[in-house]
């Protein structure tokens, strides 16, 4: 499978750069919005979804595609794509440029083989296979490897991204508690409502860690895989006991050097 993944690196990066450019151009256009808060869909979501599905079908016609905005294309394959055509749709709907897009290729055990995330505003993508992180922009001919060892560990926990899954209510008690704890303990708590935006902030040093509650969206396989290739570890949050977060799919993404400090802040032991 590694040969197949290597062959897909550049063409999937190219595809996601095009999708990112489409999303960027839409930021200044009038959107057609359907749905309600928590399930908003725009014409940009649907257009980006179609672009990605057509691109992946052309590159890997035998692979299943699971996407947030369309019925699954089930070929019965062991490997499958997981697609989030626009991550941050609620931001897009109000003209806030905190959006991204992602695809992830998973094996039959849901292990990520390849992840690509697009930053529409920055005109770039992050790509990760099983061992290596790559970056790519419009100015680059091919994805360039980025050694995880070249990404310095954050100097402590100062800026934390806090993510609330779409299935959680805005006034969820555990989310509110964590927000209050973090606000008292760190310099800045960011709630971008886009895990893809957050992973680019991790890459650029704008965030030191992510705290995620109930995050099981289509973008998360790519987010977690890319963060791990940057040197961040995933540590599950407890869902039972006196220190429980109370929700499955809850975890932190933090550099190992800072995990104990983050655990102390949020009040649970790894």
User: Whose structure tokens read 């409502």?
Assistant: 193
Query: CB 183: neighbour CB atoms within 10 A?
Result: 13
Residue 247 to residue 164: CA distance in whole angstroms: 11
CATH class name, domain 159-266: alpha beta
pLDDT digits (tens, 9 = 90+) for 111-152: 999 999 999 999 999 999 988 899 888 766 666 776 554 566
Do the beta carbons of residue 148 and residue 229 sit within 8 Å?
Answer: yes
Residue 238 to residue 253: CA distance in whole angstroms: 14
What are the domain boundaries of the chain? Answer: 2-146, 159-266
Q: Give yes or no for residue 50 having a pLDDT over 70.
A: yes
Q: Which of 19, 166, 24 is nearest to 95 (CA)?
A: 24
Give this prediction's pTM: 0.91
First to last CA, the chain: 34
Half-sphere exposure at residue 77, Cβ-oriented, CA atoms within 13 angstroms: 19
Residue 139 to residue 242: CA distance in whole angstroms: 51
Sign of CA dihedral 41, 43, 44, 46: positive
Do the beta carbons of residue 115 and residue 100 sit within 8 Å?
Answer: no
β-sheet bridge partners, residue 118:
101, 125
Contacts of 154 (CB under 8 A, 6+ apart): 205, 208, 209, 255, 258
pLDDT at 269: 47
User: Is the CATH number of domain 2-146 3.30.540.10?
Assistant: yes
Q: Which of 224, 214, 232 is nearest to 102 (CA)?
A: 224
Q: Give yes or no for residue 23 having a pLDDT over 50.
A: yes
- Name the percent of the chain lying above pLDDT 90: 62
pLDDT digits (tens, 9 = 90+) for 147-204: 554 566 777 899 999 999 888 888 888 899 889 999 999 999 999 999 999 999 999 9
Token digits of residue 145: 């490897």
Q: Which of 9, 52, 22 is nearest to 140 (CA)?
A: 9
In 3-state terms, what secondary structure has residue 220? helix
């Amino acid at each position: 499978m590694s040969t197949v993944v290597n062959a897909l690196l550049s063409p999937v990066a190219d595809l996601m750069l095009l999708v990112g450019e489409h999303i960027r151009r839409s930021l200044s256009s009038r959107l057609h919005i359907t749905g309600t808060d928590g399930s908003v869909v725009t014409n940009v979501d649907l257009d980006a979804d179609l672009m990605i599905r057509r691109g992946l079908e052309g590159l890997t016609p035998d692979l299943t595609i699971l996407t947030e905005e369309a019925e699954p294309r089930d070929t019965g394959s062991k490997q499958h794509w997981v697609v989030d055509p626009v991550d941050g749709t609620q931001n897009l709907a109000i003209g806030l440029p905190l959006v991204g897009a992602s695809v992830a290729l998973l094996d039959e055990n849901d292990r990520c083989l390849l992840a690509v995330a697009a930053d529409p505003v920055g005109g770039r993508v992050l790509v990760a296979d099983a061992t290596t992180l790559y970056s790519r922009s419009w100015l680059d001919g091919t994805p360039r490897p980025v050694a995880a060892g070249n990404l310095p560990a954050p100097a402590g926990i100062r800026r934390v991204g806090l993510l609330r899954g779409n299935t959680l209510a805005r006034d969820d008690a555990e989310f509110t508690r964590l927000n209050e704890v973090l606000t008292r303990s760190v310099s800045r708590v960011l709630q971008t409502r886009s895990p893809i935006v957050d992973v680019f902030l991790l890459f650029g040093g704008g965030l030191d860690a992510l705290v995620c509650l109930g995050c099981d969206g289509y973008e998360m396989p790519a987010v977690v895989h890319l963060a791990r290739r940057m040197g961040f570890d995933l540590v599950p949050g407890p869902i039972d006991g006196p220190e429980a977060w109370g929700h499955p799919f809850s975890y932190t993404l933090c550099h190992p050097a800072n995990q104990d400090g983050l655990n102390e802040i949020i009040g649970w032991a790894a």
